[in-house]
Chains A and B, each alone.
Chain A
């Protein structure tokens, strides 16, 4: 073996080592963040933390109960609004591959996916807050708009992959179109649809920018969607930049809760899709 060949083999091996090193280096920041936040936050989580609401500035003993409830409610209503619309639109796009409207609709969904969250916040402010005032529901609507492209895309992709024979078999049995879709197609594709839904929920669980100008913030525990409400990411943002050690501690605890929640959602999604794909 000539020297040239040894050199080339060496270069190849070197490149492989470099690739491995760089690839696994990506894992380092994530693990560093995870460890740091869990370590900083886990000690702050106690019963007080979960059940109390904000105390006056500078007083200790506050908690994040209002933000927890707020986040759950805002996300819940956003999902209620986005999931049916998203799935229906995904069905529309997968059933009408060639029509003019479907082309423009698909284009719109692609555009919507790329819109920065702050822009959606601006638009929600102009449409909903200026006429009606700050409210949690306007925040939900902004988040729902962000969820839509993810749900629509994954529904469309999943349903497109189903064989046409399924549809044809349904039609052959004399089933009307809506029955074919709702009772055959959708159940077959439920794993992909569900994973899209869960991904979209995980995506918006941590979103702050659209809530800045919509849900506003509120120091008390509230379930009134027509009024402002505090949410977990907004609370973290508010407290993180303050100098108050107590508030910073709360922000760490809240970050820990949020991070674990979002990661669990993502991991759950992966597990469910893998499990259900096998069944398919």
Chain B
């Protein structure tokens, strides 16, 4: 009776000493050992799994932090050499080591905002159409899917099509207006960008508009409002912040677009004189010149542009997301 037995085995399996000795229960004991081994394994596997999840979650933070850090560190040479004045310097002359980012900032802002202005009527129309007039039905599905497919087309294809089709059209337009007829330029890029960003504001706007409580709308109708008046006085004010967030998302997309713009903007490192002149955007100058920036300051000036682009797009996207978050929680 005083045979040495593993204490763990007894307490965990709940089998007392007497029972262990009896042969019928040896089977149970074996099962018990197996169950314990499996539980041990499961507990270990569970903690490994949990730890893996945590590591993966952490790695995202590390990744983004790493990107930001890399950009900042690589911009050091140019930050030290050129200072903050870099941002409003107007000359970009790598030969003389003069770098000024203003032409590209202007180019980026001009193209993006022009694209936004052109696209807003269209995306709002889609949002209102799908959110209010025809939320269901095959026509609505067709429109919804088509607009989403606009976002699916790769940007290099937009650029190529723009090069082949839009540039000659804009050129004939410029001839009729009397501007130097080049075809390439900020206006052409804005046109392509406008098409590319329609889906972002449209789909967000649509979900916002669909979320307007029907009792609000019905109250307005019961007071005798027409459809247009309901839209103008009830839906639009209610979804104002959501629509604004959609615009911000579209803007964020437009700011970072590289390929389509590079192919039609004309690649001129000068301050754009008017909407029809050629110019350059931050993303496009990086794409053109990073592969060959051999001087340390040149290289770092381009990366600093990337840093500015990164910060601007991130801030705009975050504001947009915050606005949506607040809106959906109200």
Contact = CB atoms under 8 A, between A and B. Distances in A.
Q: Do chains A and B directly touch (beta carbons under 8 Å) in the complex?
A: yes
Interface of A: 8-9, 11-12, 14-16, 18-27, 29-30, 32-33, 36-37, 40, 85, 88-89, 91-93, 95-96, 101-102, 104-105, 108-120, 122-123, 125-127, 145, 148, 152, 176-179, 181, 202-203, 205-209, 212-213, 233, 236-237, 240-241, 251-252, 255, 258-259, 262-263, 265-267, 270
Nearest to B74: A126
Contacts of B70: 123, 126-127
B231 interface: yes
8 contacts: A23-B129, A33-B157, A93-B57, A102-B57, A113-B317, A176-B42, A206-B154, A207-B154
B54 A23 contact: no
Of all A-B residue pairs in the complex, the 5 with the closest CB atoms, nearest first, are A206-B154, A116-B256, A114-B317, A22-B125, A178-B49
A206 B155 contact: yes
B64 A111 contact: yes
Contact of B314 (A36, A114, A262): A114
Given A105-B58, A105-B61, A240-B159, A177 B154 contact: no
B317 to A, nearest CB: 3
| SS of B interface (majority) | helix
A22 B198 CA distance: 12
A37 B161 contact: yes
A206 B317 contact: no
Interface stretch (B12-20, B76-84, B286-294): B286-294
B286 A23 contact: no
B195 A213 contact: no
B309 A114 contact: no
B110 interface: no
A85 B58 CA distance: 11
Contacts of A101: 54, 57-58, 61
Contact of B56 (A89, A120, A205): A89
A200 to B, nearest CB: 12
With most chain B CB atoms within 10 A of its CB, the pick from A19, A88, A145, A251 is: A19
Contacts of A19: 125, 128-129, 133
Contacts of B71: 119, 122-123
Contact of A22 (B50, B122, B148, B155): B122
B310 interface: yes
B52 interface: yes
A202 B148 CA distance: 12
B259 interface: yes
B226 A122 contact: no
Nearest to A256: B157
Contact of B290 (A14, A115, A125, A236): A125
A78 B146 CA distance: 27
B60 A181 contact: no
A111 B153 CA distance: 23
Contacts of B125: 18-23, 25-26
Contact of A33 (B45, B122, B161, B317): B161
